[in-house]
């Protein structure tokens, strides 16, 4: 089993727009059942959100990336360049 995490670090001036986009365009249109969280006491400036899915295979992660992550990355780069940063990580349950 794998945990796939996408972290989004946003300036306060645009964070609500990003949250709205994620809720309306990603969370509402996926069968992966993601968890959407706000990081408390983040060591980063701004606001940090995490989007996480649990999947049985790395192939599922690739499918999520192709179906959803690319769109999110494009939105961040085109609309919020220099105001938001996104990175992902994959973990395996032991």
As a whole number, mean pLDDT of residues 71-84 equals 94
Helix (H, G, I), strand (E, B) or coil at 89: strand
Confidence of residue 55 (pLDDT cuts 50, 70, 90): very high
Give the residue among 77, 85, 92 at the shortest CA–CA distance from 46. 85
The reported pLDDT for the residue numbered 46 is 92
The pTM of the full predicted model, rounded to 2 decimals, is 0.90
Q: Which residues contact 74 (CB under 8 A, 6 or more apart)?
A: none
Give the three-class secondary structure for 5: strand
Distance of alpha carbon 50 from alpha carbon 4, whole angstroms: 10
Element (H, E) at 35: strand 35-38
Query: What is the spatial distance between Cα 50 and Cα 8, in angstroms, rounded to a whole number?
Result: 6
């Amino acid at each position: 089993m794998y945990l796939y995490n996408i972290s989004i670090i946003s300036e306060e001036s645009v964070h609500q727009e990003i949250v709205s986009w994620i809720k309306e365009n990603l969370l509402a249109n996926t069968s992966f059942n993601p968890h959407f969280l706000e990081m408390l006491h983040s060591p980063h400036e701004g606001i940090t959100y995490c989007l996480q899915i649990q999947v049985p295979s790395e192939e599922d992660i690739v499918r999520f990336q192709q179906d959803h992550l690319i769109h999110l990355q494009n939105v961040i780069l085109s609309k919020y360049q220099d105001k938001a940063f996104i990175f992902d990580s994959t973990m395996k349950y032991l």
